[in-house]
Amino acid sequence: MTHTEPLPARAALPVDLDEAAHRCLVAGFEGTTVVPDTLKRLIDRGLGGVILFTRNIRDAEQVRRLTDTLRALRPDLLVAIDNEGGGIGHLVTAGAPEVPGNYALGVVDDPALTARCADALAGHLASLGITVSYAPVADIQQQADNPIVRTRAFGTDAGVVSRHLRAWIEATEARGIASCAKHFPGHGGTLTDSHHELAVDPRPYEELDLEPFRAAIAAGVPMLMSAHVVFTALDENRPATLSRRILRDLLRLELGFDGVLVSDALEMKAIADQYGEAAGARIALAAGADQVIVAVPDLGVTLECRDAVLGALHSGVLAEERVREASERVRRLSERYAESSLAVRAWDAGVGLEAARRAVGGQKPPRVVTGAHVVDLFPAPHPALNWGGEDLLTAVHEVDSSATGTAVSGEPEDLGALVDGILRRAEGVPLVVATSDGGLYPWQGRIVDALMGRRPDGVRVATGLPEGGALCSYGRGKVNLRAVAEVLVGAR
């Protein structure tokens, strides 16, 4: 049953325990200016945090007013957001700095440059009154067919990933923003996106990607986020988010992490379809999580999760000591990252484009391709990550107004008609054909083969991971696309 109002505190639960239970929750909500009454009541009872999404963002001034309103209700409320960079974020309309994304930074492999990009993102968060950034990604891109990590990772090598994590965490900390390395103990070895179904990593223990998380802990990362992934070498039955063996025995006892462990969003199918959000909240806290995220704007789901936790405390299924321990960690984090009253110093607004330019690699075109017809093939934006669907044609047109193009964001109904139309429009001008993770989307390969078979002079570009020696941007953030466009038309 979905409740529309918070339940009254159970008589058997002390007020401080009720507050502790609420502190273990992070809630999403609808709205840009008005805080829903249900959310106000949750905050009044001790809600630990809120997570903002694009639905909560209009512009910088509005976000600042919203965070002020939230914190006026409870000064120690954590205000969080996903803020990875490279197009993975929700603050575009609020003036977020454009940075190229992790993989491109790993390709450049200059930790000082990574720190400058992280500083720009963290400085912007501080100016908006946001205190928690659910970044950086600590996963290693291990599987060529992994559908969810890819250019969100700093690379395929544990050493590269580890040193860039340290740079990111330290720069974010210097801004007084809490960083959160994710997704423990690593999502890069799966062939499944846990947003859509349960993911499994079958590798033996010695092959798991723990080194970056050790590096993050050594760098003082204040938060980690768990993965909704079953690691058969660690726990054959439960995903990491719900596993005591992983959250307590491995993370707390073996790796020595004593910061706040937050779950990935409970409404992701790997949890919601297998267990349900409410049971997921109860099991995750019992297993060792300190906070659980309910990101959907329907606060009824948050209430169901809250009620499951209170009910488990009341019945003794969930130990009081476990909830108090989790709540105390969240309380310490809230105190440490309470919003500063100091003015926010400026950040380097140009560092992202600098980084993206340094990252462009692969096969350079044999000649400048001004006036080209640009074909940009890419999958539909991932709904949870909020990549905005930027296209290469727009980036090329900014530096070459004579360019034309075609953007294709999904498998066409009539491939032959599409190809014929493109070739008519590209007659007599250079042809550029860009793909994005073409290996995951066979329709892209079919279009490329058809076009290049009739136009072997076409220039190939990859806007995701490298593909067949093509000119590569290593990401689809705006600055990634701008940097590769400049190389194509000889603008730098």
CATH of the domain at 434: 3.40.50.10090
pLDDT of residue 2: 42
Identity of the residue numbered 261: L
> Phi and psi at residue 16, in whole multiples of 5°?
-70, -30
- Note the pLDDT of residue 383: 73
Given a contact cutoff of 8 angstroms between Cβ atoms, the answer to whether 351 and 120 are in contact is yes
- Which of 378, 400, 375 minimizes the C-alpha distance to 389? 378
- In this structure, the answer to whether residues 243 and 365 fall within a common structural domain is no
Torsion sign over Cα 142, 148, 150, 153: negative
* CB neighbour class for 156 (10 Å; exposed up to 12, middle 13-18, buried from 19): middle
Write down the pLDDT at residue 9: 44
Classify residue 326: in a domain, yes or no: yes
pLDDT for the residue numbered 4: 45
DSSP class of 442: H
- Contact by Cβ (8 Å): 248, 179: no
Tell me whether residue 277 is in a domain.
Answer: yes
Residue 223 sits at φ, ψ, to 5 deg, of: -140, 145
- Contact between residue 365 and residue 491 where contact means Cβ atoms under 8 Å apart: no
Which of 109, 102, 112 shows the shortest CA–CA distance to 136?
A: 102
Q: Tell me whether residue 397 is one of the annotated catalytic residues.
A: no
* Residue 377 and residue 300 share a domain: no
Q: 261 with 289: CB under 8 angstroms?
A: yes
CA distance 177 to 466: 33
Is 290 tagged catalytic?
A: no
Question: In this predicted structure, what is the pLDDT of residue 100?
Answer: 96
Same domain (yes/no): 137, 86: yes
Q: Which residues pair with 179 in a beta bridge?
A: 133
Three-state DSSP at 383 gives coil
Q: Verify that 192 and 263 share a domain, yes or no.
A: yes
The three-state secondary structure class of 132 is strand
Q: Is the domain of 317 the same as that of 372?
A: no
183 and 250, same domain (yes or no): yes
8 A C-beta contact, residue 226 and residue 263 = yes
Confirm whether 7 is domain-assigned: no
Last residue of a domain, one of 279, 301, 336: 336
pTM: 0.95
pLDDT of residue 135: 98
| Selected catalytic residue, list 264, 290, 376, 400 | 264
Pairwise CA distance, residues 365 & 265, whole Å: 43
pLDDT of residue 386: 64
400 and 329 housed in the same domain: no
Give the end of a domain, one of 336, 371, 406: 336
pLDDT at 1: 38
* Position 290 in a domain: yes
Angle between helices 158-174 and 111-128 (to 10 degrees): 40
Q: Say yes or no: 386 and 331 in one domain.
A: no
Residue pair 100/359 in contact by the 8 Å Cβ criterion: yes
Tokens matching residue 126? 């501080």
SS3 of residue 230 by DSSP: strand
One domain, residues 198 and 64: yes
Determine, yes or no, domain membership for 287. yes
Q: Quote helix, strand, coil % in the chain, to nearest 5.
A: 45, 15, 45
The C-alpha atoms of residue 127 and residue 124 are separated, in whole angstroms, by: 5
Tokens for 460? 């190939």
**Residue found by looking up tokens 């603008």 in the block:** 491
Catalytic residue among 90, 164, 187, 195: 195
Q: How many domains does the chain contain in total?
A: 2
CA–CA distance, 139 with 212 (Å, rounded to integer): 8
Containing H/E element for 108? helix 102-108
pLDDT of residue 12: 65
182 and 240 in a single domain? The answer is: yes
Q: Do 136 and 72 share a domain, yes or no?
A: yes
Q: Are 422 and 316 contained in the same domain?
A: no
Would you say 166 and 111 are in contact if contact means Cβ atoms under 8 Å apart? yes
Identify whether 42 is part of a domain: yes
CA 254 to chain centre: 26
Q: Which residues of the chain have pLDDT under 70?
A: 1-12, 386-389
**Quick one: pLDDT at residue 3?**
46
Does 177 map to a domain? yes
CATH of the domain at 139: 3.20.20.300
- Contact assessment for residue 310 and residue 14, using Cβ atoms and an 8 Å cutoff: no
State both tokens at 148. Answer: 């969810």
Domain boundaries, position 455: 360-489
Tokens coding 114: 């990574």
Backbone angles phi, psi at 358, to 5 degrees: -70, -25
In a domain, 344, yes or no: no
Residues 306/230, Cβ–Cβ less than 8 Å: no
Q: What's the confidence (pLDDT) of residue 381? A: 79
Q: Compute the CA torsion angle 457, 463, 466, 469 (nearest 10 deg).
A: 10
